[in-house]
Amino acid sequence: MSLIDRTDIGVSEWAGGNASPADYFALLKPRVMSLVVFTALAGVIMAPGQLHPVLAFVSILCIAVGAGASGALNMWYDADIDRLMTRTATRPIPAGKVTPDEALAFGMALSFGSVLVLGIVAGWFAAAFLAFTIFFYVVVYTMWLKRSTPQNIVIGGAAGAFPPMIGWACVTGGVSVESCLMFALIFIWTPPHFWSLALLKSEDYARAGVPMLPNVAGPDATRAQILAYSLPTVIVGLAPGLIGMAGLVYGVVAALFGLGFLYHAWRVYRVRDGIEARKAAGRMFGFSILYLFTLFAVLVAEHLVLGMMG
Amino acid sequence: MTTLETTETGIRLTDEQKKRRSQRNWAIGLALGALVALFYAVTIVKLGPGILNRPL
């Protein structure tokens, strides 16, 4: 049969359109989003003043969707390196379920939508803050820092630390020492948390050419940096109790978990070879998540209980 | 045979793509419905009964 005999000559197939709603949801990095929701909610609850529960719910939803949108834009830009790393090779774009164009459109639409709705619901300062956070994560971290410096997650960690400040701004329309302290805790916690993971996944990062600290400075220098960042993390963790933002219960929990944080960082620093070294890094990574979650949970719970007791 | 017998033009979706499109349509529909409810609730909360009590 010659080409001219074909009856379907004007028909072509399309590489897109293969994604289910679950694939789009995966673009939002739901696990990261859950931490964003949690810390943003902490910001809303800790802030002085009142926000109607419906407006608080919509504000948190906007912050969550904005964070998810920046996750989608991150996956759009990083698709080339994501397919080289075992941790990220199953993400929707490298897996062939979502095309890069679809992810870009999805991320941009949600970014603008979340910022606009937050502006209407909670004010334009909070909305501008959310817009800046998305910009910081996508442009400053993903496009610029991630592939150019081992300090990528030190500076880029700010993007993950802004949500409680945005939550606070939704209520007060501004910033304060307290909201900056919540930012500082996540910001300074990020390097030891992420470098513990990087120690475990250094081969992945090397394959993708991402200059994470273990690949550039070596695992031992990374271990020293984890320990060095752990001390200020614990001090900042204690600070809410010291400035009167939190009470005795928080102070005790922050001190105990701070000791645990330092212990795990010390283990990472001391145990450098074999399977035990990997276990130590894995435990540090796991404990760091528990540490941050517990501190924010106790901060909020104590605030609510003390508030109910008048 | 020399005549061009094109009976169909454009993109032909596979059955899988049609199924996924249907799923996405449902998801978008539900999301839009949720947004309508959300905007209604926000309007009532922000403006309250005053929404009907304004100078013409």
**Which two three-digit tokens encode residue A218?**
């070596």
> How many residues in total does chain A contain?
310
B5 lies within 8 A of chain A by CB:
yes
Strands B9-11 and A10-12: parallel
Domains parsed from chain A with CATH numbers: 21-175 (1.10.357.140), 188-310 (no CATH)
The rounded distance, in Å, linking the Cα atoms of A10 and B10 is: 6
Nearest 5 degrees, angle CA B35-CA B39-CA B43? 175
Return the CA Rg of chain A: 22
Element (H, E) at A43: helix A30-46
The rounded distance, in Å, linking the Cα atoms of B32 and B29 is: 5
| SS3 state of residue B10 | strand
Residues of chain A with pLDDT under 70: 1-11
Q: Is A21–B9 a contact, with Cβ atoms under 8 angstroms apart?
A: no
Q: How many CB pairs under 8 A join A and B?
A: 65
Q: What is the pLDDT of residue A62?
A: 97
Q: What is the pLDDT of residue B5?
A: 52
Q: What is the pLDDT of residue A92?
A: 95
Q: Is B4–A9 a contact, with Cβ atoms under 8 angstroms apart?
A: yes
Element (H, E) at A10: strand A10-12
ipTM over 0.90: no
Q: What is the pLDDT of residue A13?
A: 75
Q: What is the pLDDT of residue B11?
A: 81
The rounded distance, in Å, linking the Cα atoms of A179 and A150 is: 28
**Residue A123 corresponds to which amino acid?**
G
The percentage of chain A sitting over the pLDDT mark of 70, rounded to a whole number, equals 96
The predicted-structure confidence for A1-17, as pLDDT tens digits, reads as follows 455 555 555 667 777 77
The residues on A that touch B, with CB distances below 8 Å, are 4-5, 7-14, 17-21, 24, 52, 54-55, 58, 61, 120-121
B20 lies within 8 A of chain A by CB:
yes
**Which two three-digit tokens encode residue A38?**
């949690």
Q: Is A24–B12 a contact, with Cβ atoms under 8 angstroms apart?
A: no
Q: For residue B8, what pLDDT band results from cuts at 50, 70 and 90?
A: low
Closest chain B residue to the Cα of A21, Cα to Cα = B24
Q: What is the pLDDT of residue A194?
A: 94
Task: Specify burial of residue A217 (Cβ count, 10 A radius: 0-12, 13-18, 19+).
Answer: middle
Q: What is the pLDDT of residue A10?
A: 65
Which chain B residues are closer than 8 Å to A21 by Cβ?
Answer: 23-24, 26-27
The predicted-structure confidence for A227-259, as pLDDT tens digits, reads as follows 999 999 999 999 999 999 999 999 999 999 999
Asked whether the beta carbons of A55 and B45 are under 8 A apart, the reply is yes
Q: Which of A271, A137, A286 is nearest to A197 (CA)?
A: A286
Q: Which of A56, A95, A24, A14 is nearest to B16 (CA)?
A: A14
The predicted-structure confidence for A280-302, as pLDDT tens digits, reads as follows 999 999 999 999 999 999 999 99
